[in-house]
Structure 1
């Protein structure tokens, strides 16, 4: 099984790594429980979040040119999207049930099975032969309804959102000028977005419903509402327009809306162009986590062996170490090593659960994983993190082709309808 994982994971980088495919195999082996192989080889994911009926589904219909076609996502003034809808490329137009998506290990959605069958009934995939979908996957989410409690949905809504947030390359948080109130659900959403500010784009949709002066007031009110939730020096980019295939309302900022729309398409194109770099960074990020986890487990094992004596009770010794790791300098000793940030250290309480599933006596010290010919496993991970993967990124950036124009982002042939001509 591990050999197959190594082969399939190596597909992404084998053509350009020139003999360093072992890095992928090593990381895929160590991360087999943490990330599915389909996540490594998947297309960039664009996630649409926001309150209900703000135009998320309409925006996807517009970007894919699905308006007035039999395949458009259903839209309306009331809350209409109750499922997580994944729009992806396929040879023909068809829908895929969530239980099928989760059961297919070749897809990147098999880990969603852990959220239960109730959620899988609320997950649906739509495949269609579209040029843009050959390069990117869209995910439409249920609108946030402030008066609905999470348990009423029948599945852990926030946990599911976090799963998609962690894997999204671009996150559009869509707002309606008439729905700027921030409630508990929206506040929780932005807490989940912490650390992903570089991927967030704020969309002020349906902007042509307002006169220019009113639009300026709403723009200010939006920032005032979101300021406590986005605690960063540089706020996310805000796009102001109306993303649907009809002409703008008269006496509105038409030229501004056009430029904003072009900028958004260029932004989307940039994410697609940076796909390879993002995947390599994704592998390196998980490699860092694996390295830290390996060092911590090794330190727990060493401490346990040092404290054990002939008359010691293994359960009591283990419990003492897990309950108070600071007493034995477990985490501080890891920080003393090079290239370890305190901000990357996992929650120490997580190791109580970890060792509850994986007995500490089942682990060997890292030094036992070294051989004269093969070297040490951890040294290979260290070399991948510090040398091989950064060098690979540099080689890709040095040979990068000039960017596509904004009109080419949709695949040179299938693009949003010309909204500036009335239908």
Structure 2
């Protein structure tokens, strides 16, 4: 048994014996699944990730020794995106019951949220500056330091002792303002959004019925969310501002505006309601709004309950990308050495290959491999930058990374993707989850997100 997995078993055993309490067998198996997931990442995925410098191609997902455990065991993250003043902050206040309390997020008719606000659990109410969040390696936000001090000044964490936050983290974002250039924000807005999108378990894209404009920033966000359509939920908030007939017209206009941006067979789920603690306006669809709100809360709870399954799927997707990257670097290497010969100019040969990889069937040859989808291939232009920073001669072909005792790294990652991670997924789905490391225990943790008023 690998050492890390053995240590995980010992840790679970200690948890079972602590205080004379014995955990249920199914719960201990479920806990061991977390340690098995970490072990698969360390032994099968991380070696290729480091050897072929995957993180320099895609600076997101699982990165660095200190954040691996935090990435995998972190609580589900719910990301709120959308134009300014559509009710994102009000919706978080409503879900957490913060209205008219000292912890309430500030809201207003003007663009009020200019910061990325991470609302998370803590033993006491306090504000954590972005520079502190990035410096703390125990948090999963330390990679945000790469976006510079200008961004960290616009990042703030709010900790509070709240039952729901023991199981989920909310992230409020600055509103999309279509008439403002990106460089005026003072930080790489799209890159920061990509970082949060890649880590979000659920993405709430919030709209106001009176603000359905589609511009450059929104189009870019949809391009960034490509491949994550299953996690997007569209919220048509403040729906009681319109009469039923007008609301139906707006609903149709919303789909008409979004259709060119969401190129999938099944569009994201759209929730129509008003998420704030005020009575619905008279002569509007009260029953519809209530049912929609209950459905959204059930959707949110499902994400919380499926946390481990989502993490396994996340690591498998990451493993697929690392494998494809390794295969592509191997193919670039093979083509480079075949074309270089004895008297070729290394710089000219490499530039010719990376500027026109289709001429050498670089990507087409990878598609001929088993279980490689063209939709998982990175952009061809990305390798111009990648090899501009990393000399191609610093890499070795995949066949070099095989040994008699340890086998081949490519075989290990393929086994993890095809067999080990799917088996873990089956095991994780076989029983109810216990409280996760760093979360609460006891009956209070089993509470689902609730409708806080006007529910009967």
Please indicate, yes or no, whether the TM-score normalized by the shorter chain is above 0.5: yes
Alignment partner of 1:227 out of 259, 266, 269: 259
Alignment partner of 2:119 out of 79, 87, 104: 87
Structure number with greater CO (CA < 8 Å, separation at least 6) is 2
Q: Deviation digits for residues 327-361 of structure 1, max 9, x if unmatched?
A: 33332322222112222222222222222222222
Equivalent residue number for residue 215 of structure 1 = 247
3-state SS, counterpart of residue 304 of structure 2: helix
TM-score, normalization by structure 1: 0.89
Alignment partner of 2:33 out of 16, 24, 42: 16
The alignment covers a number of residue pairs equal to: 411
Rounded to whole Å, the distance in 2 between the matches of 1:409 and 1:227 is 41
Alignment partner of 1:187 out of 204, 209, 219: 219
Aligned positions of 1:6-405 closer than 5 A:
15-16=32-33, 22-26=39-43, 27-31=45-49, 33=55, 34=59, 35-36=62-63, 37=68, 38-400=70-432
Rounded to whole Å, the distance in 2 between the matches of 1:263 and 1:19 is 34
Segments of structure 1 that go 5 or more residues without pairing to the other structure are: 402-407
Does structure 1 retain, via aligned residues, the 8 Å contact 2:47–2:409?
A: no
Q: Deviation digits for residues 364-398 of structure 1, max 9, x if unmatched?
A: 22222111111111100010001111111122223
* Structure-2 change in CA distance of 1:139 and 1:7 (3 Å): farther
Equivalent residue number for residue 418 of structure 1 = 453
Does structure 2 retain, via aligned residues, the 8 Å contact 1:47–1:165?
A: yes
My pick for the range that moved more, 85-94 or 213-222, is: 213-222
TM-score, normalization by structure 2: 0.83
Q: Deviation digits for residues 277-315 of structure 1, max 9, x if unmatched?
A: 111111111111111111121222223333344433333
CA displacement at 1:409 relative to structure 2: 10
Segments of structure 2 that go 5 or more residues without pairing to the other structure are: 13-29, 434-442
Rounded to whole Å, the distance in 2 between the matches of 1:345 and 1:198 is 19
Does structure 1 retain, via aligned residues, the 8 Å contact 2:277–2:453?
A: yes
CA displacement at 1:17 relative to structure 2: 7.0
3-state SS, counterpart of residue 245 of structure 1: coil
